[in-house]
Structure 1
Amino acid sequence: MTDDAVAVAVDTRPTKIMYVAEATAHGGRDGYVTSQDGQIELKVAMPPELGGDGNGTNPEQLFAAGYSSCFHNALVLVGRRSGFDLTGSTVAAKVGIGPNPQRGYGLAVALSVSLPVLDPDIAAKLVDAAHEVCPYSNATRGNVDVTILLG
């Protein structure tokens, strides 16, 4: 590392907790999950690719749903702050799981962002800004590979 390239640690931890979500797993990947408020009650099953029957949702699908909706909200927020209408925009997430070198498992995420009414340069700047604002992006930064595709 040269003197010009100094790494600066950015603290992304919340200074105030505004909301707490609660969920409970019963039976791990072959059981069910519930939320404290009753909004979630889902069967969980291993996908066929991991040796299961796939007869239920799985943690990776739930993570993909959470990340895509959170990132999309961050995108709308930064778009609104910059005076842009993001009508028709979408964010899709793919979450992959696989073994890591430490004999455990790791995740990789690909976000596909569609901003059909914006100039590509403006869209790219908004996506970069959303990636800095999004709590999921902040939580995964540095320990999960996140790829963002703008199309």
Structure 2
Amino acid sequence: MKTLYKAKVTTTGGREGHLKSDDGVLDMKLSMPKGLGGKGEKHTNPEQLFAAGYSACYGSALQVVAKKHKVDLGDFNVTATVGIGKTEEDDLQLSVILDTYIPNIDIETGEKLVNEAHEICPYSRATRDNVDVTLNLMLDEE
């Protein structure tokens, strides 16, 4: 692989620690969510950061696919919901739901774009066969 960009972030103290990127753009405290036994403090956590990265990356993949098919996405958005839970073997496991809203699109075209974006998105490729990812096309209410 020819590397085009590298992100470097150092975390101290794990889930209840602090993270900082080498360029200083990210510099924040982490806290454990209540659902995982934390106090529920208002700081970010790994699942939120993963959701942010995945939704942005997937949204860019959607733009690439839409351009290829000459489809105007309009004011689209992608919401990633990242869950963490336990498997039957008591291992921690992630799950992801990607809700993609594309205004004024027919179901067939929307589903084609959503599925193709999932094929080329680096986050989707990295999680394939490791994380359950659910793709949802959100439609305008009539």
Report the Cα offset of residue 24 of structure 1. Answer: 0.7
TM-score by length of 2: 0.92
Cα deviation, 1:20-48, whole Å, max 9, x if unaligned, reads 11111111011111111111011100001
- Equivalent position amino acid for 1:24 in 2: T
Other structure's SS at 1:91 match: strand
- Equivalent position amino acid for 2:37 in 1: G
Runs of 5+ unmatched residues, structure 2: none
Report the Cα offset of residue 109 of structure 1. Answer: 0.4
Measure, in 2, the Cα distance between the counterparts of 1:24 and 1:118: 42
Which residue of the partner structure matches residue 6 of structure 1? Answer: none
Measure, in 1, the Cα distance between the counterparts of 2:88 and 2:2: 36
Report the Cα offset of residue 124 of structure 1. Answer: 0.6
Which residue of the partner structure matches residue 61 of structure 1? Answer: 48
Measure, in 1, the Cα distance between the counterparts of 2:14 and 2:112: 40
Which residue of the partner structure matches residue 73 of structure 2? Answer: 86
- Equivalent position amino acid for 1:69 in 2: A
Other structure's SS at 2:111 match: helix
Measure, in 1, the Cα distance between the counterparts of 2:67 and 2:104: 14
Whether 1:123 aligns to 2:110 is yes
Other structure's SS at 1:118 match: coil
Displacement over 6 Å in runs of 4+: none
TM-score by length of 1: 0.87
Report the Cα offset of residue 102 of structure 1. Answer: 3.5
Taking the TM superposition and a 5 Å limit, the aligned residue runs for 1:13-28 are 15-28=1-14
Measure, in 2, the Cα distance between the counterparts of 1:20 and 1:101: 36
Whether 1:36 aligns to 2:22 is yes
Whether 1:71 aligns to 2:77 is no
Report the Cα offset of residue 147 of structure 1. Answer: 0.2
- Equivalent position amino acid for 1:36 in 2: D
- Equivalent position amino acid for 1:25 in 2: T
Which residue of the partner structure matches residue 110 of structure 1? Answer: 97
- Structure 1 vs Structure 2: percent identity of aligned residues? 48
- Equivalent position amino acid for 2:4 in 1: M
Other structure's SS at 1:88 match: coil
